[in-house]
Amino acid sequence: MNEERKLRRQDKPPRPGPDVEVIRVEKGPGVAVQIVSRAIWGVWTHWDGRRSRECTSEGPLCQGHQNNWPTRWKGYLYVWCPYRKQFCFLECTPNMAQEIIRLQGDNDSLRGLLLRANRYGGSIRAKVSVELVKPAGGDGALPEPLDPEPVLRKL
Ligand SMILES: [Zn+2]
């Protein structure tokens, strides 16, 4: 049998992915989305060297704290992504989230605003530029925002 045509076998089923995609602002074309959430939902995580892990407390109950894995804050917004033609979660770095909150100013909600973000550089601390624009058409057609927690637990 031709070795190149061997079937790709795996009896252990793959872990199901999240039902809702999580997008990030990568270096390059950036993102342009409409915000569905009213506010940023933030959470602390640990980085184990390969992937993000949940932080469950600052005490001995948290595996990440026990292992001294570095902590990272992540913010999430439920958004409509016209490019993907789907609703998804946009992950925000701390400096991106601070910029969104600064631009939000006295507005009590982010819901309906158009957000454009671009990242200048590949590092986690790279500056992300953010623009918030009020759409001309209003936000009447937006659904209720989703809770990110069940989705993030599947990541
Ligand atoms: Zn922890």
Specify if 64 maps to a domain. no
Using one digit for the tens of pLDDT, what is the confidence trace for 54-99? 899 877 889 999 999 999 999 999 999 999 999 999 999 999 999 9
Specify if 2 maps to a domain. no
CA–CA separation, 143 and 53 (whole Å): 29
Specify if 49 maps to a domain. no
Specify if 100 maps to a domain. yes
Q: What is the distance in A from the centroid of ligand 1 to the CA of 49?
A: 14
Strands 71-81 and 52-54: unpaired
pLDDT of 100: 96
Label residue 89 exposed, middle or buried (CB < 10 Å: 0-12, 13-18, 19+).
Answer: buried
Using one digit for the tens of pLDDT, what is the confidence trace for 102-134? 999 998 999 999 999 998 887 767 788 999 998
**Number of folded domains that form the chain:** 1
pTM listed for this prediction = 0.82
Specify if 132 maps to a domain. yes
pLDDT of 1 > 60? The answer is no
Specify if 103 maps to a domain. yes
Q: What is the distance in A from the centroid of ligand 1 to the CA of 69?
A: 8
| Domain around 119 | 22-41+76-137+144-153
Specify if 53 maps to a domain. no
The neighbourhood of ligand 1, an ion, using CB within 5 A, equals: 55, 62, 64-65
